Amino acid sequence: MLKVNHVDMSYGDLQVLWDVSFEVRQGEIIVLVGANGAGKSSILKTISNIKNPSHGEIIFEDFNLVTAQPHEIIEHGVIHVPEGRHLFNEMTVEENLIMGSLSQRAKPRRNEMIDYCFGLFPRLKERRKQIAGTLSGGEQQMVAIARGLMALPKILMLDEPSLGLAPILVQEIFEIVRNVSKEGITILLVEQNVRQTLAFCDRAYVLENGRVTKEGTGNELLNDEYVREAYLGI
């Protein structure tokens, strides 16, 4: 479904991705794990073409994302929920959701999808007229995910959705991710919460200093000696 082939990317003179290759298949939950600064967010930015790769190709269903405009990428159903949520803080919850459905594909189904999202997140429904910046961290993350769903994703890329949340909320967010996956939406998840995400993903890639250094199923990596030592502290 999504193929990332030999991608290099730099911020100015600083190269941060080196020959990155991986693949996401229809319906999978794929996790990219790696330490802070490993380049996880940079990969997602390259896929949504907020940043241009200097080398390599990114193919989504026969469509080359490297040469596409960000809005075309969204139109194709590749949706990026950024790290740190990045809500429109002075807009209401409902307006934030509306902003998720600007594409031609999503706009006709806007009202239906708002209802769907409020069904998925009843807590947001109560707060639909509340200004997003005044929500709690967990609620804001829900808005960020819901705003992503409004765009009718075929693949939803979530950048550290558990960042800064209390453990109980982390559980809730991962539960939501699993539910979204059950709806048939492919998931590309970036996480530092290695143990928990490896436990429920289909496959995972380990990223170190901008390079993919390991890959395998969640279980394989959970049992991998190097991963256990480096990421699970065992």
Partner 1 sequence: METFLQTLASGILIGGLYAIIGIGMTLIMGVLNIINLAHGQILMISMYITWVLWHYFGIDPYMSIFITIPTVFLIAEGISKYFLHPLIDKDSILPENQVLMTVGIGMVIMELARTIFTSDFKSISPTTTLRGEKIDIPGYLQNSIHIANISISIPLLIAFSISIFLTLGLFLFLTKTDKGRSVRATAQDKGAAALMGISTAKITILTYGIGSALDAAAGSLLLPIYYLYPDVGPIFTVKAFVITILGGLGSTVGAIFGGLILGLAETFGATYISMGYKDAVGLIIFLLVLVFFPGGLKRFTKV
Ligand X SMILES: Nc1ncnc2c1ncn2[C@@H]1O[C@H](COP(=O)(O)OP(=O)(O)O)[C@@H](O)[C@H]1O
127: contact with ligand X by CB under 6 A: no
CB of 191 to ligand X, least distance (A): 10
Report the partner that residue 145 touches, choosing among partner 1, Mg ion, ligand X, none (CB closer than 5 to 8 A by kind).
none
Using CB under 5 A, which of 23, 57, 83, 220 touches Mg ion?
Answer: 83
Report the 10 Å Cβ neighbour count for 64. 10
Using CB under 5 A, which of 7, 41, 48, 145 touches Mg ion?
Answer: 41
Residues of this chain, 27-46, that bind ligand X according to CB under 6 A: 34, 36-42
23: contact with Mg ion by CB under 5 A: no
42: contact with Mg ion by CB under 5 A: no
Size of the site for partner 1 (CB under 8 A): 25
Report the partner that residue 175 touches, choosing among Mg ion, partner 1, ligand X, none (CB closer than 5 to 8 A by kind).
none
CB of 88 to ligand X, least distance (A): 21
CB of 200 to partner 1, least distance (A): 26
Size of the site for ligand X (CB under 6 A): 11
CB of 221 to partner 1, least distance (A): 29
13: contact with ligand X by CB under 6 A: no
Residues of this chain, 152-181, that bind partner 1 according to CB under 8 A: none
Residue 64: beta bridge partners? Answer: 59
Length of the chain: 234
End-to-end CA gap in the chain: 35
CB of 58 to partner 1, least distance (A): 16
Residues of this chain, 36-95, that bind ligand X according to CB under 6 A: 36-42
Residues of this chain, 88-147, that bind partner 1 according to CB under 8 A: 88-91, 95, 98-100, 102-103, 107, 131, 147
* Spatial strand order in the sheet of 14-24: 14-24, 2-11, 55-60, 63-64
The DSSP-derived string for the chain is -EEEEEEEEEETTEEEEEEEEEEE-TT-EEEEE--TTSSHHHHHHHHTTSS--SEEEEEETTEEGGGS-HHHHHHTTEEEE-TT----TTSBHHHHHHHTT-STTTGGGHHHHHHHHHHH-HHHHHTTTSBGGGS-HHHHHHHHHHHHHHT--SEEEEE-TTTT--HHHHHHHHHHHHHHHHTT-EEEEEES-HHHHHHH-SEEEEEETTEEEEEEEHHHHHT-HHHHHHHS--
Site residues (vs Mg ion, CB under 5 A): 41, 83
Site residues (vs ligand X, CB under 6 A): 11, 14, 16, 34, 36-42
